[in-house]
Chains A and B, each alone.
Chain A
Amino acid sequence: MNAPVRVRVLGLGMIAPGALRPARALEPPVEPFPDWFDTEALLPGRGYRKLPPACRYLLAAARSALDDTGTWFAGLSPQDRAAVIGGNNAGAALQDDFDRTVIATGAADLSPARVPYMALSMFGGRLAPEHGLQALVLTTNSPAVAGLEAVQTAARALAAGRATAVLAGAVEDRPAPVQGGGSAHDLGAAVLVCVPEGVSVAGERAYGHCSVRGAFVGAAGGVPETSDVLDPLWKELLADGRPVARIDAVLDDSPAGAAVAGWLTARAGDRAVTILTRPPGSGSLAPLRRVVGRMAAGTAERAVVLAVSAHGHVSIADVLPGTAGVP
Chain B
Amino acid sequence: MMMPDRRRAVLTGLGAVSCLGAGAEAHWAGLLAGGAAPREVDLPYMNMRARRMYLTPPSAIPADPGTHAGIPLGPAPRMAVAAAREALADAGIGRGDTVRIPVVMGVEMGNASVQEEQRGAGGTPPWTPLAVTAAVVAEAVGSRAGTAGLGNACAAGGYALGVALDVIRAGEADVVLVGGAEGITRVGMAGFDRIRVTDPYGCRPFARDRAGTVFADGAAFAVLESAAHAASRGARPYAELGAAAWSCDAYHHPTAPEPDAVQLVRAMRNALADAGVRPEQVGCVLPHATGTPVNDAVESRALHRVFGDSSGRPPVFALKALIGHTSGAAGMFACLTAALIASRARIPANAPLDQDPECDVWLPQDGPVPLNRPAVLVNSCATGGVNASFVLSRVGDPA
* A153, B248: Cα distance in complex, Å: 17
Q: Does A79 contact B (CB under 8 A)?
A: yes
CB distance from A310 to the nearest CB of B (A): 5
Question: Which residues in chain A, 75-111, are within 8 Å of chain B measured between CB atoms?
Answer: 78-79, 82, 88-89, 92, 95-96, 98-100, 102-103, 105-108, 110
Question: Which residues in chain A, 284-327, are within 8 Å of chain B measured between CB atoms?
Answer: 309-314
Q: Which of A125, A129, A142, A218 contacts B148 (CB 8 A)?
A: A142
Q: Does B246 contact A (CB under 8 A)?
A: yes
CB distance from B326 to the nearest CB of A (A): 15
Contacts of A82 in B (CB 8 A): 248
State whether A140 touches B190 (Cβ < 8 A): no
Question: Which residues in chain A, 148-170, are within 8 Å of chain B measured between CB atoms?
Answer: 149, 152-153, 156-157, 159-160, 162
Q: Does B159 contact A (CB under 8 A)?
A: yes
* A103, B172: Cα distance in complex, Å: 46
State whether A99 touches B132 (Cβ < 8 A): no
Contacts of A30 in B (CB 8 A): none
Pick from A62-70, A172-180, A261-269 the stretch touching chain B: A172-180
State whether A138 touches B150 (Cβ < 8 A): yes
Interface residue count on the B side (C-beta < 8 Å): 82
* A116, B191: Cα distance in complex, Å: 8
Q: Does A5 contact B (CB under 8 A)?
A: yes
State whether A141 touches B250 (Cβ < 8 A): no
A138-B152 contact given A2-B170, A215-B144, A312-B139, CB 8 Å threshold = yes
Q: Does B195 contact A (CB under 8 A)?
A: yes
State whether B147 touches A313 (Cβ < 8 A): yes
Pick from B18-26, B44-52, B201-209, B363-371 the stretch touching chain A: B44-52
Q: Does A182 contact B (CB under 8 A)?
A: yes
* A176, B115: Cα distance in complex, Å: 14
Q: Does A276 contact B (CB under 8 A)?
A: no
- 1/0 per residue, CB under 8 A from A, across B187-207: the answer is 111111111000000000000
* A160, B249: Cα distance in complex, Å: 20
* A107, B45: Cα distance in complex, Å: 10
Q: Does A136 contact B (CB under 8 A)?
A: yes
A215-B131 contact given A5-B170, A102-B186, CB 8 Å threshold = no
* A314, B143: Cα distance in complex, Å: 13
Q: Does B119 contact A (CB under 8 A)?
A: yes
A107-B190 contact given A216-B144, A216-B147, A219-B139, CB 8 Å threshold = yes
Question: Which residues in chain B, 125-159, are within 8 Å of chain A measured between CB atoms?
Answer: 125-132, 134-136, 138-139, 143-153, 156, 159
CB distance from A305 to the nearest CB of B (A): 16
Closest to B188 in A: A118
State whether A141 touches B144 (Cβ < 8 A): no
* A311, B132: Cα distance in complex, Å: 7
Contacts of A43 in B (CB 8 A): none
- 1/0 per residue, CB under 8 A from A, across B170-184: the answer is 111110000000000
Contacts of B125 in A (CB 8 A): 179
* A17, B70: Cα distance in complex, Å: 31
Contacts of A152 in B (CB 8 A): 148
Q: Does A251 contact B (CB under 8 A)?
A: no
Contacts of B186 in A (CB 8 A): 99, 102
A218-B144 contact given A107-B191, A120-B108, A157-B166, CB 8 Å threshold = yes
CB distance from A317 to the nearest CB of B (A): 13
Q: Does A60 contact B (CB under 8 A)?
A: no
Contacts of B187 in A (CB 8 A): 95, 98-99, 102, 118
Q: Does A115 contact B (CB under 8 A)?
A: yes
Q: Does B384 contact A (CB under 8 A)?
A: yes
Contacts of B174 in A (CB 8 A): 1
* A229, B125: Cα distance in complex, Å: 33
Contacts of A120 in B (CB 8 A): 108, 130, 151
Pick from B251-259, B293-301, B334-342 the stretch touching chain A: B251-259
A135-B248 contact given A141-B107, A256-B69, CB 8 Å threshold = yes
Known: A89-B127, A229-B144. 4 other contacts (CB 8 A): A143-B135, A156-B166, A160-B166, A219-B139
The contact sample of 6 A-B pairs, CB cut-off 8 A, is A118-B191, A128-B384, A134-B249, A141-B151, A142-B148, A216-B135
By a beta-carbon cutoff of 8 Å, the part of chain A in contact with chain B is 1-2, 4-5, 78-79, 82, 88-89, 92, 95-96, 98-100, 102-103, 105-108, 110, 112, 115-116, 118-122, 125-126, 128-129, 132-144, 146, 149, 152-153, 156-157, 159-160, 162, 175-176, 178-180, 182, 213-219, 228-229, 254, 256, 280-281, 283, 309-314
